[in-house]
A and B are shown apart, each in its own frame.
Chain A
Amino acid sequence: MKIRKRNNVQIYGNGTTPIIFAHGFGCDQQVWEYIIPDFFEAYQVILFDYVGSGRSSLEAYSSERYNSIDGYAEDIIEILDELNINEAIFVGHSVSGMIGLKVAIERPDLLRTNIMIGSSPHYLNDGDYQGGFENEDIRELLAMIDRNYQEWAKYMAPISMKNTDQPKLTEELEEMFADQNPEVIRQFAEVTFFLDMRDELKRNTVPSLLLQTKDDTIVSKEAGTYLSKHLPHSEHIEMEAEGHNPHISNPDEVTHQIKEYVEQKLWKSS
């Protein structure tokens, strides 16, 4: 299957510097809609959906490939190879920051930098490490996904349909997305929330920027601190924005931080 179709790859912008935005668990490329317009002028903007999310090809999903973040990292590697891109600027939200790290370890040639928004190396509490969640919290979340997955699926319906004049079409699309296997969402949740990348951090060689917010209910203070302390070649910025989705709640600040880092630091140093 063509990778561009498989991952619903969309390319925008007039620039030549490639910047790829990777969505986190439970959503799709639509979450970047407030951010990307500011990059159109000077960048080649690449959006995609992981297999199993958004409008990717569900038939490409296999529970073997996607039972760890390796399969998701493989998606990114294959997309960049397919587009013949290296040295891309990678922006990953939440678990995608860690998926980007995996790519940086496996194929450092592909990434110029890895910018992580609200990423955590490990969500569970483990001895002295306070990831923020107990095992039972995650179990409860998985049970909630079971109950709500139809609603969740609707959320993946295309954004362009939200004010449509053709309610029937929207309904059909919602049904189509509701058909997505709840097991896929569930497995992505397990991969995300049981992830432990703490031992991998030291293998990083790609310059990384950690964008963290105040009061992120998903990334504990300690998880953020642990990440900035143990990830080589990284710098850490605490933003004014609050919550786990600053790219939605404070897109201007996120855009500003990315551009500042890339254009003022990365480019001037090289």
Chain B
Amino acid sequence: MEEQLNHAPAGYLLLSVSGTILEMNETLRTWLTTEETWEDDSFYSLLTRASQLYAETYFLPTLAIHETVEELYVVLCTKSGSRIPVLINAHRRKNNIECIFVQMKMRDYYENELLSQKHNTERIAEEMRKAYEDLQQVMEDYEVKRKELLQINQQLEDKATTDPLTLLKNRRFGEEKMLEEMQKGTRFSILLVDTDHFKQINDTHGHQAGDLALKQLARIFMTTTSEHDVVIRFGGEEFLLIFPTATEDMLHNIAERIRKQVAAYQFHHGRLTVSLGGTSRRAEESMHELLERADRALYQAKKGGRNQFIIDDNKKNRPLL
């Protein structure tokens, strides 16, 4: 071997195509801290176990196919067991393989740093992706639970504000509705409707007939009012109808229509009439006062012979809204 190549500042190795060591320069020998020639040994005997694997699956096949390999990273293993990371450039020439080795101890340190940073970053990215997925799942679960809760609440709410016999809204709901209208400041009208001689139906035909009559009444009220109006079973055989948009004048027509429908209806047990008292809310009037005036009108309708409508339009006290 030429003097210059023998002592060049890089390792030089000549291999047969099957990887047997033919020649090695002094520089490489010094790195490997050996006086031995290594000749006739396999190239793999210079490498760590992992590098052997790598060289066998990559290095020699690549040379066979592409005839050249550049910047291959492997780790040499000296006979004393220490490790030397190197980069190899190799090519096939004249049916042999020529390799140049450059040590990269410092580069190895930097690259290890970089790789470990890269792995860290990948790990963190993976953890974040996972955490994000978990969070998505939690939010989905929460949304499902929230909807379930809303549904249950709605069911409870319906139960708490519904009269189980007639399936009309109950008194509590009616009071809330009136308060709501009062807060909005709208002028609204109400009708109190009482079933005439209801006790007689119960006494003569039994409670079942009475219950049935109440259900049939409820249906008449529902069909003779609009969807914005609210029909309430106010208690016993008494109903409250709330008309958010009706004026006192309109109330008369509505009440008469209801009265006539009821009187004309063939109930299960026979005939039935209702008495009605109605009014419109006045400015500053409390719910209690409003109901009292309607109740007074109803009382007068009863007293006047039943099956009639009386409106409380007494304007003496307070002006209309």
A residues with a Cβ closer than 8 A to B are 24-27, 30-31, 33, 94, 133-134, 137-141, 143-148, 151-152, 154-155, 157, 159, 162, 193, 215, 217-218, 242-245, 248-249
Judging by beta carbons under 8 Å apart, are A137 and B72 in contact?
no
Judging by beta carbons under 8 Å apart, are B65 and A30 in contact?
yes
Judging by beta carbons under 8 Å apart, are B50 and A138 in contact?
yes
Residue of B nearest to A218 (CB): B56
Residue of B nearest to A27 (CB): B61
A140-B51, A147-B115, A148-B54 are known; give 16 further A-B pairs, CB within 8 A: A24-B57, A26-B58, A134-B49, A138-B50, A140-B49, A140-B50, A141-B50, A141-B53, A147-B111, A148-B58, A151-B71, A155-B62, A243-B19, A245-B60, A248-B61, A249-B60
Per the CB 8 Å criterion, the residue count for chain B at the interface is: 31
Given A133-B49, A137-B53, A159-B66; A217-B58 close (CB under 8 Å): no
Q: Please tell me which one of the listed residues B54, B58, B65, B73 contacts residue A162 in the complex, with CB atoms under 8 A apart.
A: B65
Chain A CB count within 10 A is highest, among B44, B48, B66, B67, for: B66
Judging by beta carbons under 8 Å apart, are A217 and B72 in contact?
no
Task: List 10 A–B pairs whose Cβ atoms lie within 8 Å, in order of A's numbering.
Answer: A27-B61, A30-B65, A140-B75, A162-B67, A215-B42, A217-B52, A217-B53, A244-B56, A245-B64, A249-B17
Given A159-B66, A217-B44; A243-B60 close (CB under 8 Å): yes
For the A-B complex, the count of residue pairs with Cβ-Cβ distances under 8 Å equals 97
Given A146-B115, A147-B115; A141-B70 close (CB under 8 Å): no
Q: Please tell me which one of the listed residues A218, A243, A248 contacts residue B53 in the complex, with CB atoms under 8 A apart.
A: A218
Judging by beta carbons under 8 Å apart, are A243 and B115 in contact?
no
**Which residues of A lie under 8 Å from residue B186 when comparing CB positions?**
none
The secondary-structure label for the interface of chain B is: helix
Judging by beta carbons under 8 Å apart, are A31 and B71 in contact?
no
B154 within 8 A of A: no
Given A140-B48, A144-B73, A147-B115; A245-B53 close (CB under 8 Å): no
B18 within 8 A of A: yes
Judging by beta carbons under 8 Å apart, are A245 and B61 in contact?
yes
Judging by beta carbons under 8 Å apart, are A217 and B61 in contact?
no
Judging by beta carbons under 8 Å apart, are A155 and B49 in contact?
no
Q: Please tell me which one of the listed residues B42, B54, B61 contacts residue A141 in the complex, with CB atoms under 8 A apart.
A: B54
Q: Mark interface residues in B80-114 (1 if CB within 8 Å of A CB, else 0).
A: 00000000000000000000000000000001000
Q: Mark interface residues in B29-52 (1 if CB within 8 Å of A CB, else 0).
A: 000000000000010100011111
Judging by beta carbons under 8 Å apart, are A151 and B69 in contact?
yes
Given A217-B44, A218-B57, A242-B18; A151-B72 close (CB under 8 Å): yes
Judging by beta carbons under 8 Å apart, are A137 and B73 in contact?
no
CB distance from A208 to the nearest CB of B (A): 23
Q: Please tell me which one of the listed residues A139, A145, A151 contacts residue B70 in the complex, with CB atoms under 8 A apart.
A: A151
Q: A134 to B50: give the CA distance in the assembly, Å.
A: 10
Q: Mark interface residues in B152-167 (1 if CB within 8 Å of A CB, else 0).
A: 0000000000000000
Residue of B nearest to A248 (CB): B64
**Which residues of A lie under 8 Å from residue B75 when comparing CB positions?**
140
**Which residues of A lie under 8 Å from residue B62 when comparing CB positions?**
155
Judging by beta carbons under 8 Å apart, are B61 and A155 in contact?
yes
CB distance from A159 to the nearest CB of B (A): 5
**Which residues of B lie under 8 Å from residue A145 when comparing CB positions?**
54
| 8 A-B pairs with least C-beta separation | A140-B50, A137-B49, A26-B57, A141-B50, A155-B62, A248-B64, A244-B56, A249-B18
